[in-house]
């Protein structure tokens, strides 16, 4: 399904900050990874909505993005900046 990945999340449990990047092996796998990341995002929103609404809002604002076979999802108050860094550096 994928040939490489990066996963980083905040050490503090009250923060949603997360960066996930996958390199799919082909277009079929790319679609499957996009679906799984969207499911993951929805799960995190549901888990945090009542307990950490400000973090749930950060996750809700995020979207799965792709560039070729690279797929990424960023939960952060600095989404735009982090996504620009990712776009600039994926090859």
- Mean pLDDT value across residues 3-21: 97
Q: How far is C-alpha 81 from the geometric centre of its chain's CA atoms?
A: 14
Q: How many CB atoms lie within 10 A of CB 50?
A: 8
Give yes or no for residue 36 having a pLDDT over 90: yes
| Domain span holding position 59 | 2-89
Predicted pLDDT of residue 4: 98
Q: How many CB atoms lie within 10 A of CB 72?
A: 23
Rounded CA separation 88/36 (Å): 24
Q: What's the total number of domains in the chain?
A: 1
**Model confidence over 63-72: pLDDT tens digits?**
999 999 999 9
DSSP lists the bridge partners of residue 5 as 22
Predicted pLDDT of residue 91: 74
Token pair for residue 76? 């952060």
- Mean pLDDT value across residues 6-24: 97
**Model confidence over 42-79: pLDDT tens digits?**
999 999 999 999 999 999 999 999 999 999 999 999 99
pTM here is: 0.94
């Amino acid at each position: 399904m994928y040939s490489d990945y990066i996963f980083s999340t905040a050490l503090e449990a009250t923060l949603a900050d997360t960066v996930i990047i996958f390199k799919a092996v082909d277009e079929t796998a790319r679609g499957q990874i996009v679906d799984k990341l969207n499911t993951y995002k929805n799960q995190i929103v549901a888990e945090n909505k009542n307990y950490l609404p400000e973090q749930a809002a950060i996750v809700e604002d995020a979207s799965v993005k792709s560039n070729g076979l690279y797929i990424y999802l960023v939960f952060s108050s600095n989404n735009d900046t982090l996504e620009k860094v990712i776009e600039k550096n994926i090859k």
